[in-house]
Amino acid sequence: MSKLRVAVIGARGRIGSEAVRAVSEAEDLELVAAIGRGDKLETLVEAGAQVAVELTDPGAVMGNLDFLVRHGIHGVVGTTGWTEERLAQLRTWLAAAPEVGVLIAPNFSIGAVLTMRFAQQAARFFESVEVIELHHPNKADAPSGTATRTAQLIAAARAEAGCAPQPDATVSALDGARGADVDGVPVHSVRLRGLLAHQEVLLGDTGETLTIRHDSTHHSSFMPGILLAARRVPSAPGLTFGLEHFLDLD
């Protein structure tokens, strides 16, 4: 079987260089180009790339995608900064190239995506739900973006199912003890030397609790998701937003 021909754009960044290595080591993929700032996009065409992994920055991503779509190269995009305008523009380009697929993923960690998905599915069956996220102490924001997003998804699922508010008889509390309130879901942020990025969703009902925990212990955790996306995107024409749509969860 011939290997899928994959290029990496942004190959000299921290995630990009990991992606170069991960593609090279995958038995069913062939790394045909690895370009960075200042390199020419034409290299991808000359190298016969079928899929390009785009890991650059908001200033570069639109130009790169315009090129990829025009040349029939599928895209797997980790670059952030997406707005409705940008997505609309991308959709216009893709409409003119109906065979090309582009996946944009805010998070390529399969574990993080599954945690959010499972939390969302389980949320309506339990009286109580709280989120604890734990990170290294150099992190600037609390809660983490992932935890906030997870809590929002949980709250939306509960609202849709008509769940009652969570039980909480607290009458006397120190400031902050009960965490941050994200749409009615308490979120607690721990900052601890020795940790990287971790998240725990706790769900409880009469006589039982369910805990879904994701531990990210190295930034290479994005690689399995990037490879999975590269393999899947050629058969997913048009725009897909979110890795969960490639996980066949339903």
The residue from 7, 23, 223, 229 that contacts a second copy (CB under 8 A) is 223
16 assigned binding-site residue: no
Identify which of residues 100 and 151 has a Cβ nearer to a second copy in the complex.
151
71 is catalytic: no
The residue from 29, 32, 76, 182 that contacts a second copy (CB under 8 A) is 182
In contact, 124 and 157? CB cutoff 8 Å = yes
198 is catalytic: no
162 assigned binding-site residue: no
> Which residues 108-137 are close enough to bind a second copy by CB under 8 A?
109-112, 114-115, 118, 121-122, 125-128, 130, 132, 134, 137
13 assigned binding-site residue: yes
CA–CA distance, 160 with 155 (Å, rounded to integer): 9
Identify which of residues 69 and 78 has a Cβ nearer to a second copy in the complex.
78
What dihedral angle (degrees, nearest 10) is formed by the CA atoms of 242, 248, 249, 250? Answer: 110
> Which residues 134-163 are close enough to bind a second copy by CB under 8 A?
134, 137-143, 148
> Which residues 32-51 are close enough to bind a second copy by CB under 8 A?
none
Q: Which of 135, 188, 198, 214 is catalytic?
A: 135
Query: What is the SS3 assignment for 77-121?
Result: ECCCCCCHHHHHHHHHHHHCCCCCEEEECCCCCHHHHHHHHHHHH
Q: How far is the CB of 148 from a second copy (least distance, A)?
A: 8
64-88 per-residue burial string, b: 16 or more CB within 10 A, e: under 16: bbebbbeeebbbbbbbeeeeeeeee
Binding residues for NAD(+): 10-15, 78-80, 105-108
Residues noted as catalytic: 135, 139
